C-alpha cells in the first residue's frame, strides 16, 4: 500500500525494493540550469537524514544504485506537470516532459522513502528503501491553491517560504497572498508609501504589524517560482480598505481618515467610488504590484462590500477591470464580481453564494472552488479548538475538509468551467507559526488531493490510512499539525 499524498493517478507497486546506498548519485539527463536545480533540490532533501554525499551529475543513464532524472518532451501527454516514476532494485528513474513534472516526481519520491527521510538530523542505521513499481501521474486541476491572509496578521518572508516548501511537497501550485485588509496593508507601494508605513503598522488585536518591502516580495515570488508556485497578489477593493483609508485622507468620501482598525468586523469600509483620485490610487497600486509579479494574475478582492451600493459596486469593478487589463494581468475576484459584466478571461473565486458564482460562470468566467464550509482553514476543527472561528455554522474536521467534490459543490457550473481548488487561511485569530501549522495541517493535505488526484480514486478510508503515515513525515518536517481523532496516528 502506498502512503503518497496526493494519491497518484496511476500506481502499481510490487514487493521488490530499491535501496539508496552511500555511494548513490543523482544523474540528470539535461544540462539546463532548471533541470539541474530540480536534481540538486532532491539531493538537498535526501542528504541530511541519510548523511550521504549524493553528488548531482549530468549523464545519459544511471549506474546501479542511482536516481536518474530523465527530462525530455518525448511524451507530450504528460503535459507540463505530469511525470512517471520507475523504481527497480537497480535504479529509480523519474521522467517528465516539463520541469514542473520532474519536480513533482521528486516530491513523490521523497514520500516513498521511510518517513525519517524528512528528519533534519542524520538517522544512522536506517535502510533507505523505496518500493519498486511504476507511477504515472498527471494532475486533475490546473489550479491547486492556498490563500494566506496577511492583512489580519502579518507573516514574515521566512514563514511564507517555509509554507511554500510545504505546499510544494503536496504539489500545490498557487499561493494567493491577501495583501491588504481593514487591519493592515502589507506591501510597500512606492508611489503611496504611507499605505505600508502607517496602514501596515498594526494588526488584529493591536498585534504587531509589518509589510513586505518590494525586495521582500520579489524574493518570495522568486522562491515560489523555483518551486513551481505562482504567487497571486490580492489587494481587496473597494471594501476591506480601512488600512488604506486610514493612510490617505484623500481616499475618503469626507476627506477625513478613520483610525487604524484592530477588530474583526467585515464590510464597513469602502473606497470613494466617485472620486477620480481613487482610480489613480488603484492604477498605481496595480501597476507597481503587476511589475513585481511575473504570474499572469491580479486578484482585486471585491468581497463583502456591504457599505457600497450595488450600482456603485458595478461601476467600480468594471473600471478596475480595465485597469488590471491595462497592466497586462488577468483579473480574479471573489464571487461577488459575478454581479458585474466580466471580461472573457476573468476568474471568479467561489466562497459562499452559488447563485452569483453560477452567474459568473454563465458569462464565461472560470471558477476556483473555495467553499467556506469546506475549504476555510480558519474554521475550527471542533467546538474545543482554541483558535479559529465558526461562523459557517459547522466545524471542519479533517474528514469534512477532504470529503467533498468541487463538481457537486458548484451547482449550476459546468465541469469545464472549474479551474481548480483553493483553500484559505484567514488569520483573524491566527498569528504564530504554530497557529498556522495547526490550522493548515493536515487539512491542506486533503485539499491538495482534491486538486490533484482523479475523482474516482479518492476515498476517505484510503486517505485516512495514508494520513497516519504522512503525519510522521509532517512531524519530521517540524510541522505542528492537528492530531485529529479521526485518524489513528501511530
Ligand atoms: C469571509 S470569504 C471573508 C473574510 C473573512 C472570512 C473569515 C471572503 C471573501 N471574506 O474577510 O476573513 O470570512 O472566515
- Same domain for 179 and 130? no
Chain mean position to CA 325: 24
- Same domain for 93 and 203? no
Residue 426 CA to ligand 1 center (angstroms) comes to 7
CATH number of the domain encompassing residue 107: 3.30.379.10
- Same domain for 126 and 235? no
What number does the ligand 1 atom closest to the CA of 304 have? Answer: 10
3-state helix, strand, coil in the chain (%, to 5): 35, 20, 45
- Same domain for 75 and 223? no
Q: Is 266 in the pocket of ligand 1 (CB under 6 A)?
A: yes
Q: Is 429 in the pocket of ligand 1 (CB under 6 A)?
A: no
pLDDT value for 118? 98
Question: Is 485 a domain residue?
Answer: no
Question: Is 310 a domain residue?
Answer: yes
- Same domain for 290 and 207? yes
What number does the ligand 1 atom closest to the CA of 240 have? Answer: 11
Residue 224 CA to ligand 1 center (angstroms) comes to 25
- Same domain for 219 and 294? yes
Question: Is 389 a domain residue?
Answer: yes
Task: Compute CA distances 282 → 193, 234, 286, 290, 399, whole Å.
Answer: 14, 12, 6, 12, 41
- Same domain for 90 and 218? no
- Which domain-ending residue is among 137, 163, 198? 137
Residue 108's domain comprises 10-137
Give the residue ranges of the chain where pLDDT is below 50. Answer: none
Q: Is 378 in the pocket of ligand 1 (CB under 6 A)?
A: yes
Give the count of domains, the chain.
2
SS3 196: helix
- Which domain-ending residue is among 137, 157, 175? 137
Q: Is 153 in the pocket of ligand 1 (CB under 6 A)?
A: no
Question: Is 4 a domain residue?
Answer: no
Which residue lies with its CA nearest to atom 5 of ligand 1? 426
Question: Is 489 a domain residue?
Answer: no
- Same domain for 323 and 426? yes
* Strand positions, DSSP E, 1-152: 10-20, 26-28, 56-58, 67-71, 83-87, 92-96, 128-137, 143-149
Q: How many other CB atoms sit within 10 Å of the CB of residue 276?
A: 8
CA distance 93 to 105: 9
Residue 452 CA to ligand 1 center (angstroms) comes to 25
CATH number of the domain encompassing residue 273: 3.20.20.80
Q: Is 334 in the pocket of ligand 1 (CB under 6 A)?
A: yes
Question: Is 487 a domain residue?
Answer: no
- Same domain for 122 and 267? no
Task: Compute CA distances 350 → 265, 269, 316, 411, 420, whole Å.
Answer: 21, 22, 20, 11, 11
> Annotated catalytic sites, by residue?
304
Question: Is 93 a domain residue?
Answer: yes
Is residue 302 within 8 A of residue 316, CB to CB? The reply is: no
pLDDT value for 73? 72
What number does the ligand 1 atom closest to the CA of 370 have? Answer: 2
Best probe residue, ligand 1, of 267, 370, 372, 395 (max atoms within 8 Å of C-beta): 372
- Same domain for 194 and 233? yes
pLDDT single digits (tens) 100-142: 999 999 999 999 999 999 999 999 999 999 999 999 999 999 9
Is residue 246 within 8 A of residue 198, CB to CB? The reply is: yes
- Which domain-ending residue is among 78, 109, 137? 137
- Same domain for 330 and 350? yes
- Same domain for 323 and 282? yes
User: For the whole prediction, is pTM greater than 0.85?
Assistant: yes
What number does the ligand 1 atom closest to the CA of 334 have? Answer: 9
Question: Is 2 a domain residue?
Answer: no
Task: Locate all alpha helices (DSSP H) within 271-353, ordered by sequence.
Answer: 276-292, 310-326
Amino acid at each position: 500500500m502506498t502512503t503518497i499524498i496526493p494519491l497518484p493517478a496511476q500506481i502499481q507497486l510490487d514487493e521488490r525494493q530499491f535501496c539508496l546506498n552511500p555511494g548513490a548519485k543523482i544523474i540528470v539527463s539535461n544540462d539546463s540550469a532548471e533541470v539541474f536545480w530540480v536534481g540538486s533540490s532532491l539531493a538537498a532533501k535526501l542528504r541530511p537524514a541519510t548523511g550521504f554525499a549524493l553528488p548531482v551529475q549530468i549523464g545519459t543513464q544511471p549506474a546501479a544504485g542511482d536516481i536518474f532524472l530523465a527530462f525530455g518532451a518525448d511524451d507530450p501527454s504528460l503535459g507540463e506537470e505530469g511525470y512517471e516514476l520507475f523504481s527497480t532494485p537497480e535504479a529509480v528513474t523519474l521522467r517528465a516532459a516539463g520541469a514542473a513534472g520532474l519536480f513533482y516526481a521528486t516530491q513523490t519520491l521523497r514520500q516513498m522513502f521511510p518517513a525519517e527521510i524528512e528528519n533534519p538530523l542524520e538517522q544512522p542505521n536506517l535502510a533507505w528503501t523505496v518500493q519498486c513499481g511504476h507511477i504515472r501521474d498527471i494532475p486533475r486541476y490546473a489550479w491547486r491553491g492556498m490563500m494566506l491572509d496577511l492583512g489580519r496578521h502579518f507573516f514574515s518572508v521566512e514563514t511564507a517560504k517555509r509554507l511554500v516548501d510545504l505546499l510544494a511537497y503536496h504539489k500545490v501550485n498557487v499561493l494567493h497572498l491577501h495583501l491588504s485588509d481593514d487591519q493592515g496593508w502589507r506591501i510597500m507601494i512606492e508611489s503611496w508609501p504611507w499605505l505600508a508605513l502607517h496602514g501596515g503598522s498594526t494588526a488584529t488585536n493591536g498585534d504587531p504589524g509589518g509589510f513586505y518591502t518590494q525586495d521582500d516580495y520579489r524574493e518570495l515570488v522568486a522562491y515560489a517560482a523555483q518551486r513551481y508556485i505562482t504567487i497571486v497578489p490580492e489587494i481587496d477593493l473597494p471594501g476591506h480598505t480601512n488600512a488604506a483609508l486610514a493612510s490617505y485622507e484623500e481616499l475618503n468620501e469626507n476627506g477625513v481618515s478613520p483610525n487604524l482598525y484592530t477588530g474583526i468586523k467585515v464590510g464597513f469600509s469602502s473606497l470613494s467610488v466617485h472620486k477620480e483620485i481613487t482610480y489613480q490610487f488603484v492604477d498605481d497600486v496595480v501597476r507597481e504590484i503587476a511589475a513585481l509579479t511575473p504570474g499572469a494574475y491580479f486578484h482585486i478582492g471585491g468581497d463583502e462590500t456591504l457599505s457600497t451600493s450595488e450600482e456603485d459596486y458595478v461601476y467600480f469593478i468594471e473600471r478596475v477591470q480595465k485597469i488590471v487589463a491595462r497592466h497586462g494581468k488577468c483579473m480574479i475576484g471573489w464571487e461577488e464580481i459575478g454581479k458585474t459584466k466580466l471580461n472573457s478571461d476573468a476568474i471568479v473565486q467561489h466562497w459562499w453564494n452559488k447563485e452569483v458564482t453560477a452567474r459568473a460562470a454563465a458569462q464565461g468566467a472560470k471558477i476556483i472552488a473555495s467553499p467556506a464550509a469546506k475549504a476555510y482553514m480558519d474554521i475550527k476543527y471542533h467546538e474545543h479548538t482554541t483558535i479559529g472561528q465558526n461562523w459557517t455554522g459547522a466545524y471542519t474536521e479533517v474528514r469534512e475538509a477532504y470529503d467533498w467534490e468541487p463538481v457537486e459543490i458548484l451547482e449550476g457550473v459546468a465541469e469545464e468551467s472549474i479551474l481548480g481548488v483553493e483553500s484559505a487561511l484567514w488569520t483573524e485569530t491566527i498569528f504564530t507559526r504554530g497557529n498556522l501549522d495547526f490550522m493548515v495541517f493536515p487539512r491542506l493535505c486533503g485539499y491538495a488531493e482534491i486538486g490533484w488526484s482523479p475523482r474516482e480514486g479518492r476515498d476517505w478510508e484510503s486517505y485516512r490510512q495514508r494520513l497516519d503515515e504522512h503525519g510522521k513525515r509532517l512531524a519530521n518536517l517540524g510541522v505542528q499539525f492537528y492530531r485529529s481523532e479521526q485518524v489513528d496516528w501511530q
